[in-house]
Structure 1
Amino acid sequence: MEDIRAMLQVTMRRFGMLNKNCCTVDCLDISMVQSHILYEIARKNLPSMQEVADTIGMDITTFSRQIQTLKKMELVERNQSAEDKRVYHLSLTAKGKQVEEGINDQMKHYLENVFSHLNEKEQNEVIKSLQILNAAMGKSNMCCKPFS
């Protein structure tokens, strides 16, 4: 059996998971964590801070610091819930939406380039394999949850 950990390590490095910054959009350097946060906020309608922190598997204290940074960058707004004063909802500013779209464009271009080196059958095999791996990770008690 091949060294699966080594293969995953190389994949993560090549995907840029260990880079300080994953993307630069409109002269803003965005970290991988910030990219994940922006993506999750964009996917949901006014998610709570706890909801996004849980989705990306981050403790709320660290997450709050990231939100403060994103607020200073004018990418995210945080508003107190009218129903429950302990809850804060997140949304992207117009600038935040523009940056998130820029990240999406960069990632799309990156993945299209990578997949261009595979034939259609290989592309489908990779996608199916990733679906199977993600499903297995979702069932494992060793992996972070929830990821939807």
Structure 2
Amino acid sequence: MENLRELFQVMTRRFGFLNKNCCTAGSYEISLIQSHILYEIDRHHKPSIQQIAGTLGTDITTFSRQVQSLMKMNMVKKTPDPDDRRIHILSLTTEGKYVATMIDQQMNTFLNEVFSHMNDAEKETVIRSIKLLNDAMAKSKNCCTTPLG
């Protein structure tokens, strides 16, 4: 039987998930969580702080700190919702959009290079398997937490 934990440990390292910074865009060093925040803000229409924190499975305090650091870098804007002033809407600044696009291009280049070492059938098998794994993880009662909570 394969050591599943070892397979995931190696994949995590090869993806660079343990690196302090996942990406460089222009003069910016972006952490993995900041990269995820930029990505989620970019793909949602006028998301609230709570929405993005929920999507990422991050507690609101940690998330707010990360949003503050992205605001200081002039990548994210936070504006009160006109219908409910208690809710804040997140959006990307021009700089934030640029950085999100750069990270997206870097990730696509990396993934295309990785998949270039596989034939079409192997690539399709991996993609289908990742979808199956994501679906199974979404059904798990431990989704989005570490095994220890």
State the TM bucket, normalised to the shorter chain: over 0.9
- Residue matched to 2:9: 9
Q: Secondary structure at the match of 1:136?
A: helix
Identity within the alignment, %: 52
- In structure 1, the residue matched to 2:61 is 61
**What SS does structure 1 have at the residue aligned with 2:142?**
coil
Equivalent AA in structure 2 for residue 79 of structure 1 = T
Map 1:116-135 → 2, pairs under 5 A: 116-135=116-135
List per-residue Cα deviations over 1:3-32 (Å, max 9, x = no partner). Answer: 101100100110011110000001100000
Spell out the pairing of 1:21-60 with structure 2 (5 A cutoff).
21-60=21-60
Provide the rounded CA distance (Å) in 1 between the counterparts of 2:47 and 2:35. 16
Aligned counterparts of 1:73 and 1:122: Cα–Cα separation in 2: 41
> 1:143 deviation in Å?
1.3
One-letter identity of the residue aligned with 1:73: M
- CA-CA distance at 1:144 after TM superposition: 1.6
What CA distance in whole angstroms lies between the structure 1 residues aligned with 2:142 and 2:56? 15
Unpaired stretches in structure 1, ≥5 consecutive residues: none
Structure 2, unmatched stretches of 5+, are: none
Alpha-carbon distance in structure 1 between the residues aligned to 2:125 and 2:17: 23
When the two structures are superposed, what TM-score results if normalisation uses the length of structure 1? 0.96
Asked which structure has the greater RCO (Cα within 8 Å, sep 6+), the reply is 1
Partners of 2:143 and 2:90 lie apart in 1 by 26
TM-score by length of 2: 0.95
Note the aligned Cα RMSD (angstroms).
0.9
CA distance in 2, matches of 1:22, 1:45: 25
Aligned pairs, number: 145
Please name the residue that 1:110 is paired with: 110
